[in-house]
Amino acid sequence: MQTGIARRLGCEVPIFAFSHCRDVVVEVTKAGGFGVLGASTFAPEHLEQELRWIDAHVGGKPYGVDIIIPAAYDREAEAMAAPETLIPAQHRGFMERLLAAEGVPELPEDERARVRREIVAGRGAMTPDGARRLLDVTLRHPQVTLVVSALGAPPPDVVARLKERGIMVGALCGKASHAIRQKAAGVEMIVAQGTEAGGHTGDIATMVLVPQVVEACPDIPVLAAGGISRGSQVAAALALGAEGVWTGTIWLGTRESELTPFEKDAVFAARAEDAVRRRARTGKTVRMIRSKLSEAWEQPGAPPYLPTPLQGILYNEMHARVVRAGRRDLYSFPVGQSVASVNEETSVREVMLRLQTEYLAAMDRMTRLAGAE
């Protein structure tokens, strides 16, 4: 499994783990993979703390940071100190009425203030300037050797700053045409993310997308993402032309994951068909657990979705109420279809070992099949 990208980035196996949780990033990296911290949920000061902690615990190894830099967003909201004031009363009222009818209590005032502060400064506030502030923090940490951007090609100033420092620039794409645009923008590694994936995701399945992206960008490494939870799928990804895999959902059920026991139980209970694509969370399509909250926005009479970052600011505050109330029927968190194989708590190390053992078994099986011809 020592592919070109693994050699270039200095990891033992090309298993990339996207996580918002620093412990997962550290454990995956220490177990020979490559951890990538999802930074878009943090305010800059908070990101600084997280990266310092990773630097101190990752045993001197390199790791990555993922920053959402949306090509489409609300410019007015980006320029404002208090973008939440742009959320129309109709939208806020819709959510408030729904939660009141379900008997979900309001957050206590101090908790509400904290959530608003966090959401506006980080969580949900995904804009290009917000991303640049996160980049400023990231560049102070030399152990970060890969920065990946999502939701569009990274802007030229961002690419230039990363390349100046010798940091590899990656990007997530859901279509071969996106990959071509990203490569033209200076991206050096593409994550081809199929519709099965948790989080923001497009329409094309991983099995179809990966070879298309490999053909469209033959001279740069491609990682396969979306639906990967077994070693046989890692072998399949390499067979499709990828140099490694990029995973998200499988880490949600690990001991190292930051999800609460209530949230982990919701993940363990979810089936593949419960991982639906909805716009309720950010205004863009996100694959997440189906719930009364996600479905309410799809009903006739629901207000139209707000642009990024406003929908996310509104949704996240309501989500915090749902989590506090422990209401599984209203709980929607990003997960991919591979959530079906996340059924009990394990450790990052166990997952890493299982993926590699299964990979070897799949390779053996293919060798035997080929030999039998």
Ligand X SMILES: Cc1cc2nc3c(=O)[nH]c(=O)nc-3n(C[C@H](O)[C@H](O)[C@H](O)COP(=O)(O)O)c2cc1C
Q: Would you tell me which residues interact with ligand X (CB under 6 A)? A: 18, 38, 40, 66, 68, 150, 172, 193, 196-199, 225-228, 246-249, 334-336, 338
What's the N-to-C CA distance of the chain in angstroms?
25
Residues whose CB is less than 8 angstroms from the CB of residue 245 and which lie 6 or more positions away in sequence, other chains included? 14, 15, 16, 223, 224, 225, 228, 233, 234, 237
**Tokens linked to 139:** 């560049």
Residue nearest to ligand X (CB): 248
- For the CB of residue 352, give the shortest distance to ligand X in the complex, in Å: 14
- For the CB of residue 353, give the shortest distance to ligand X in the complex, in Å: 18
Q: State the greatest distance between any 2 C-alpha atoms of the chain, in Å, as a whole number.
A: 69
- For the CB of residue 325, give the shortest distance to ligand X in the complex, in Å: 20
In the three-class reduction of DSSP (H, G, I as helix; E, B as strand; rest coil), residue 253 is classed as coil
Residue 97 belongs to what H/E stretch?
helix 89-101
User: Is the CB of 37 or the CB of 216 nearer to ligand X?
Assistant: 37
- For the CB of residue 61, give the shortest distance to ligand X in the complex, in Å: 20
CA distances to 74, 79, 182, 303, 314 from 83, rounded to whole Å, are 10, 8, 29, 19, 10
User: Is the CB of 350 or the CB of 364 nearer to ligand X?
Assistant: 350
Give the number of other CB atoms < 10 A from CB of residue 304. 12
> Which residues are 65's β-sheet partners?
37, 147
The Cα–Cα gap between 276 and 287 comes to: 5
Residue 57 belongs to what H/E stretch?
helix 44-57
- For the CB of residue 28, give the shortest distance to ligand X in the complex, in Å: 13
User: Is the CB of 121 or the CB of 302 nearer to ligand X?
Assistant: 121
User: Is the CB of 130 or the CB of 336 nearer to ligand X?
Assistant: 336
- Counting every residue, how long is the chain? 373
User: Is the CB of 123 or the CB of 183 nearer to ligand X?
Assistant: 123
User: Is the CB of 107 or the CB of 289 nearer to ligand X?
Assistant: 289
Are 41 and 121 in contact, with CB atoms under 8 Å apart? no
- For the CB of residue 225, give the shortest distance to ligand X in the complex, in Å: 4
User: Is the CB of 112 or the CB of 346 nearer to ligand X?
Assistant: 346
- For the CB of residue 364, give the shortest distance to ligand X in the complex, in Å: 24
